[in-house]
Every structure is written in C-alpha cells, then in structure tokens.
Amino acid sequence: MRFVFDYRLPTGSPWVMIFSAENEVKAEEYVRNLKEKYNYQEVSAIHSITTIEDLYRLYFPKSTSDMVS
C-alpha cells in the first residue's frame, strides 16, 4: 500500500513524503519512528493513496479537474 503525509523539519522546511508499507498499522509505526528519531514536526494525518490522482486530490483539490489527461 502507498501512503502520504506532510510535515515540517526542525528547520521549518515543509515537505511531503510518499512511502509504501504493508498496511496502515505499519505506516503509522513508520511515521511514529520518524517523529521520534528525526524530530519531524507538524505531521499531518497519514492518507492511503492508490493513484497519482489521489495525491493531486489531497494537495491540489481545485486543479484536479483542470488537468490534461
């Protein structure tokens, strides 16, 4: 399964991470480890995605319908 979340580094830089995990429990564990070990801050909810369109709907909701196929 593929997942995505956004976060800020301790320096304040915003980022988005896309990653794979076996299931939602493993995904949550992975993100928890990132927060503990690397001090990721302002971590959003973890979203499951299956297509690139899912990613666009999460981060660019108004422009999805305007995209060219």
DSSP 17-29: EEEE-SSHHHHHH
Q: What is the reported pLDDT for 66?
A: 54
Using CA atoms, how far apart are residues 19 and 32, in angstroms rounded to an integer? 14
Using CA atoms, how far apart are residues 30 and 65, in angstroms rounded to an integer? 32
Residue 68 has pLDDT above 70, yes or no: no
Is the four-CA dihedral 10, 39, 19, 49 of positive or negative sign?
A: negative
The residue ranking higher by pLDDT, 69 or 25, is 25
6: CB partners within 8 A, 6+ apart? 14, 15, 16, 17, 43, 44, 59
Sorted by where each begins, the domain ranges of the chain are: 2-62
In this predicted model, what pLDDT tens digit does every residue of 4-53 receive, in sequence order? Answer: 999 887 788 889 999 999 999 999 999 999 889 988 888 999 999 999 99
Q: What is the reported pLDDT for 3?
A: 97
